[in-house]
Amino acid sequence: MIIWGSKPITGTLGAGNFNCPVCTRNQQYDQKRVRRFFTLYFIPLFPTSTLGQYVECRSCQGTFEPGILSYDPAAETQKTEALFMTAVKQIMIHVCLADGSIDDEEVSQIQNIYEQLTGARIGESDLREEITTISQDSNTLYGLIDHLNGQLNDTGKETAIRSAYLIAAADGNVDQSELEMIQRIAHRMSISPTHLNGILASVQQQG
Ligand SMILES: [Zn+2]
C-alpha cells in the first residue's frame, strides 16, 4: 500500500532587523513561508501550494504580516510633524483671512508665531504663495482639520488652537469674526467649548 498525503511545512525565507511593534524596538526577525508539501510515506517530496508568509520576531515570537518590514516609526513621526506644521501654518492663514486680506505685518506675525510653536522658520515667499492659494479657495480648512483629527493627539490640537489665537491677538485685539473662526476650528476638532476656554485662558496668561 502506498501511503501519500500532504502536510504544511514552514521554511525560512530570510532574516534581518525590523521595528517590532510588540517589543517597540528594533529586533531581529525571520521571514517565514508556509507551504503544503506532497508526502509519500510521510516524507515531504515537493511543495504543492504556498499557504502564506509571515514575519516572526525572534525576541517576542510575535508574528506579523510581511508589510511590517516597511513600518518605520521615525518616518511616521516625521509625517505627523510635517502635517502638524502645515496645520499650524494654514490655520493661522485662515484666521487672518477671516477679517479680510493679509497685510505685511500679519505675514511677519505668522512667521514669528510659527517659529515659536514649531521651532522652524517659513520663508516669506513660501508663505505668500500659500496665502494666495488659500485665499483663492478658502474651503480647504475643514478638509484639513478632518485629516488632522485622525493624526494629531490632544497636545497637537491644542497647539493648533493656540496658534489660531496668537495670530488673532497679534494685532492687539481678537475681533468677533476671528473668535468665531477659532470656535469653528475647535468644534471641528471635537474640542468642547469648556476645553477651548481653558486653552484660550492659558494662552492669555502666557502672553
Ligand atoms: Zn518582538
CA distance 176 to 93: 17
**Residue 26 CA neighbour count, 13 Å, CB half:** 4
Ligand 1 centre to CA of 53 (Å) is 17
Please state which CATH class domain 73-206 belongs to. mainly alpha
Question: Grid coordinates representing 55?
Answer: 514575519
Q: Ligand 1 mean position to 54 CA, how many Å?
A: 13
Query: What separation in Å is there between the alpha carbon of 9 and the centre of ligand 1?
Result: 23
Largest CA distance in the chain: 96
Kindly report the average pLDDT of the chain as a whole number.
Answer: 89
CA of 36 to the centre of ligand 1 (A): 27
User: With contact defined as beta carbons under 8 Å apart, do 163 and 113 qualify?
Assistant: yes
pLDDT in tens, 72-112: 878 888 888 888 888 889 999 988 888 777 888 899 999 99
What pLDDT is attached to residue 134?
87
* Distance from Cα 69 to the centre of ligand 1, integer Å: 12
So what's the pLDDT on residue 207? 57
- Residues around ligand 1, an ion, CB closer than 5 A: 20, 22-23, 27, 57, 59-60, 62
- Domain assignments of the chain as residue spans, ordered by start: 4-70, 73-206
Per-residue pLDDT tens digits for 107-136: 999 999 999 888 889 999 999 999 998 888
The bridge status of strand 25-40 relative to strand 4-20 is: antiparallel
Looking at residue 66, what DSSP letter applies?
Answer: G
- C-beta separation of 7 from 40 below 8 A: no
**How far is the centre of ligand 1, averaged over its atoms, from the C-alpha of 24 (Å)?**
7
Amino acid in the structure at residue 203: V
Residue the block writes with cell 508539501: 37
Distance between CA atoms of residues 149 and 65, nearest Å: 27
Distance (Å) from CA 25 to ligand 1 centroid: 8
Helix or strand run (H / E) with residue 85:
helix 73-98
Strands of the chain, DSSP E: 4-20, 25-40, 43-57, 63-64
